[in-house]
Structure 1
Amino acid sequence: SQPSAREQLIAANKSSQALKEKQATLKTELAELQKKNAEFQEVQSQLENKYLDLQNTLLKLRTNAAEPIRIADENDQLKQQLHYEQNKNIDLVKNNAFLADQNIKQWFMIGAGVSIGSLILGLLITRIRWKRRDSWGDVR
């Protein structure tokens, strides 16, 4: 009822050959899958690096977003300081113009005083009668 040994040997060789072919295809599939696995691991490494960069960026954004009130207050304070300094500058320019005007008026008054003094002195000198002596010693 059992097949002869020759037939069993042929069947065993056929199944052995089929198993060897299947082993070869499985080895090529294994090599391809290992290659794909290496590619996926490279992509995973790149994605992990990108993820860490994004985490750092998010942390920086959260840190900066947590400070808008402080930044706004500092901005308002700087605006007030700028306004104060501008007003101070305007006052100093006005004061400088006033002092320059006063200086011009002062020099004008000094010039007027010198002119009036010269006029009075000139009038007085012309009104005084000087006593002249003759060449012989007589007073005229």
Structure 2
Amino acid sequence: MRLTLLALILLTLPLIPVVEAKTVRYVADTLEVPLRAGASLRHKIVRMLPSGTPVEVLDSGDDKGFTLVKASDGGVQGWMPSQYLMETPSARDALAQSQLELERVRSENASLKQRLDTLATQKGDVESSVSQISADNHRITQEIAQIRRTAANAIAIDQQNKELQERVVTLERNLQIAQQENQSLADRNQRDWFLLGSGVLLSGIVLGLVLPRLRVQRRSRWGEL
């Protein structure tokens, strides 16, 4: 049964019409409205205005179905059918304006992203600089502390040197005084020894002169006895 049904389907396939794919196109949204010299279709066209062109209304002329307008781009005046005038821009122009605004926003967004990346890079550089400055500040603080300790030690050593210099000056002065006193004592001793020697010598001379006389006198006395 199934084989019979399958055979019938295969036989009917050539009878089914083939549906061809259709190509779809859209009418372009481009319209030009004639601007005429008068309020009727009989008047000559002074200019063709593309759709979406802003115009200034000079005379409504609703009873004629035409409106006197002035093109904002070139200052040309003329009459055009009132049915083509709208209070808001056309959808095509609004879409184009929206696309321009979208492109502007995208451009600003890209610029902001680039600026953000730049700021992020600058932030990293600043943080690195701050870290380096902090390390330098810590190092300089330690160096200043070391310099202060060294300066304090230098001041103490300088004070000690001054005290030692004063002691050396005092000792030199005392040494000079002692040397002078020693020289005076030496001179005095030498003078005393000279005087003592002179006295001894003088005493010897006196004794040498006196003793012979005393002996002579003693002998004379012994002779007289």
**Counterpart in the other structure of 1:61:** 112
**Counterpart in the other structure of 1:108:** 159
Q: How does 1:32-51 map to 2 (within 5 A)?
A: 33-34=84-85, 36=87, 40=89, 50-51=101-102
1:93 aligned onto 2:133: no
Distance 1:96 1:33, change over 3 A: farther
Residues 99-140 of structure 1: CA deviation (Å, up to 9, x unaligned):
211221221122011111011112112223345xxxxxxx89
**Separation of aligned partners in 2, 1:40 and 1:120:** 113
Gap runs ≥5 in structure 2: 1-61, 68-79, 185-190, 193-225
Q: Which has the higher contact order (CA 8 A, sep 6+)?
A: 2
**Separation of aligned partners in 2, 1:117 and 1:53:** 91
Instruction: Compare 55-64 and 107-116 and name the one that shifted more.
Output: 55-64
Q: Cα offset for 1:70?
A: 4.6
Gap runs ≥5 in structure 1: 1-21, 132-138
**Separation of aligned partners in 1, 2:147 and 2:112:** 49
What amino acid sits opposite 1:40 in the alignment?
A: P
Instruction: Compare 82-91 and 70-79 and name the one that shifted more.
Output: 70-79
**Separation of aligned partners in 2, 1:33 and 1:89:** 81
Q: Cα offset for 1:56?
A: 2.5
More helix by share: 1
- RMSD, aligned CA: 3.9
Instruction: Compare 60-69 and 82-91 and name the one that shifted more.
Output: 60-69
Task: From 121, 131, 135, give the equivalent of 2:172.
Answer: 121
- TM-score normalised by structure 1 residue count: 0.54
**Separation of aligned partners in 1, 2:158 and 2:117:** 63
Identity of aligned residues (%): 6
What amino acid sits opposite 1:89 in the alignment?
A: I
Following TM superposition, where does structure 1 have runs of at least 4 consecutive aligned residues deviating by more than 3 angstroms?
A: 31-36, 43-53, 64-76
**Counterpart in the other structure of 2:132:** 81
More strand by share: 2
- The number of aligned residues is 108
Distance 1:57 1:113, change over 3 A: same
**Separation of aligned partners in 2, 1:108 and 1:124:** 24
What amino acid sits opposite 1:118 in the alignment?
A: V
